[in-house]
Amino acid sequence: SNHEKHICKVCSLIYFTKFDLQRHLITHTLERRHKCEVCHKAFSRKAYLRNHSVTHTKLKPFVCGFCYKSFSGEINLRNHFKTHKRQERKIKKYACVACDQTFCLKRFLNEHMRSHKDVRPYKCSLCSKSFQCKGIFRKHVLTHLNAKPHVCQVCNQGFCTRSKLLLHFKSHTDANCL
């Protein structure tokens, strides 16, 4: 992993941020009442002693659900899990259809798309029209297929888009035909 590890020199716990390690180090200044029966190492918290005790058994009962790596202590597993969270945020799932640039959040893609104001990557193979948005392109294709899924409830006339239906519906209300 290319993430920097911060290891406590007192108890060997691993932290992935300097802040977490510094916060942890404060616990070592507290009174250490909990002693390991095997190596006599003392801990400020019972939970730390429990975490440490497992190291003497060579057992690693805490297993990561993502990569199945096992750890001797729950705290180590929690710190390891944070690396998956960071990696998940770095996965770029949203791709720009105009330039193939990828983004980890949809809102970043939307912001980026503003830079392609005049780019129209969705081209209709049936006519010369091109579109910036996939949704508008799909609606356009319906016009070629004579698909009219939007039906007027007054006269049963069909329209390829909802906006055309609403425009038509206005003609009924303007003529007071209702």
83-96 CB burial, b ≥16 within 10 A, e <16:
beeeeeeeeeeeeb
Average pLDDT (142-155) is 79
The pLDDT value recorded for residue 1 is 45
Residue 142 Rama label (left phi>0; alpha psi -120 to 50; beta): alpha
Domain ranges, ordered by start, for the chain: 102-147, 148-177
DSSP state of 44: S
Share of the chain above pLDDT 90, in %: 2
Check pLDDT > 50 for residue 5. yes
CATH superfamily placement of domain 102-147: Classic Zinc Finger (3.30.160.60)
CA dist 109 and 99 (Å) reads 11
Check pLDDT > 50 for residue 88. yes
**Is residue 103 classed as helix, strand or coil in its secondary structure?**
strand
Average pLDDT (101-121) is 77
**Is residue 104 classed as helix, strand or coil in its secondary structure?**
coil
Cα dihedral 100, 103, 105, 107 in deg (nearest 10):
-60
Q: What is the mean pLDDT of the chain?
A: 79
